[in-house]
């Protein structure tokens, strides 16, 4: 059954049905369909399912496949597969340690230096206004991968705060991960 035409509302394309004709109760939420994101969801699920630590696996991949922006001596920088904002970087030691107090003085120094460089590169490339920087130590503290130390560098803009994530549980990201990785890696000092 096709609903009666409503003045000011375009007619349906032949063969399509109005959403209100389907089963279910309307919930007041708008839907932002982003099927291209399934590539990241599937990749992330595979990386976390039975293949070991994703931060130990990443350095064995090409920079593009591992989302690696820079490789240092004791630590490296990569993009977060599930970013809070475009350009969300992670700084990880190559060595599999869980917490900051287990890192060597050399790892601590390089993590700090790479964090500073990451901030400079993000500021240059993305013109961000500020940063959230931090480490979640352990699952109880919110670490998604709690067995491998990693520091977050999240670029922030004056206009990036909105109710989308809070109300719709949706994060809108304007650039694909590969494009962001390429821009940051190209701007990283040699």
pLDDT at residue 82 in the model: 85
Nearest alpha-carbon partner for 71 in 83, 79, 81, 63? 63
Domain count of the chain?
1
Domain assignment of residue 156, yes or no: yes
Q: What pTM does this model have?
A: 0.70
Domain assignment of residue 83, yes or no: yes
pLDDT at residue 105 in the model: 98
Which domain range does residue 112 map to? 33-45+52-187
Domain assignment of residue 9, yes or no: no
Domain assignment of residue 1, yes or no: no
Across the chain, which has 190 residues, the per-10-residue mean pLDDT values are 54 57 62 59 52 91 96 97 90 97 98 98 95 92 90 89 58 80 94
CATH number at residue 179: 3.30.428.10
Domain assignment of residue 110, yes or no: yes
The residues that are catalytic are: 150
Domain assignment of residue 116, yes or no: yes
Asked if residues 69 and 79 have their Cβ atoms less than 8 Å apart, the reply is: yes
**DSSP state letter for 103:** S
pLDDT at residue 48 in the model: 47
Domain assignment of residue 5, yes or no: no
The 10 Å Cβ neighbour count of residue 120 is: 13
CA distance 74 to 105: 10
């Amino acid at each position: 059954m096709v609903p009666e035409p409503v003045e000011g509302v375009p007619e349906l394309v032949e063969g399509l049905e109005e959403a209100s004709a389907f089963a279910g109760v309307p919930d007041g939420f708008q839907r932002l369909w982003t099927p291209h994101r399934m590539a990241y969801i599937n990749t992330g699920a595979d990386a976390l399912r039975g293949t070991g630590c994703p931060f130990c696996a990443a350095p064995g991949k090409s920079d593009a496949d591992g989302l690696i922006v820079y490789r240092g001596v004791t630590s490296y920088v990569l993009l977060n597969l599930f970013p809070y904002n475009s350009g969300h970087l992670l700084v990880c030691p190559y060595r599999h340690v869980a917490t900051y107090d287990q890192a060597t003085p050399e790892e601590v120094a390089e993590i700090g230096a790479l964090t500073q460089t990451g901030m400079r590169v993000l500021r240059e490339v993305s013109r961000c206004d500020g940063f959230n920087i931090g480490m979640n130590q352990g699952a109880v503290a919110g670490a998604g991968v709690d067995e491998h130390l990693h520091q977050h560098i999240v670029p922030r803009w004056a206009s990036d705060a909105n109710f989308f994530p809070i109300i719709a549980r949706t994060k809108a990201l304007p650039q694909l991960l590969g494009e962001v990785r390429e821009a940051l890696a190209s701007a990283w000092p040699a």
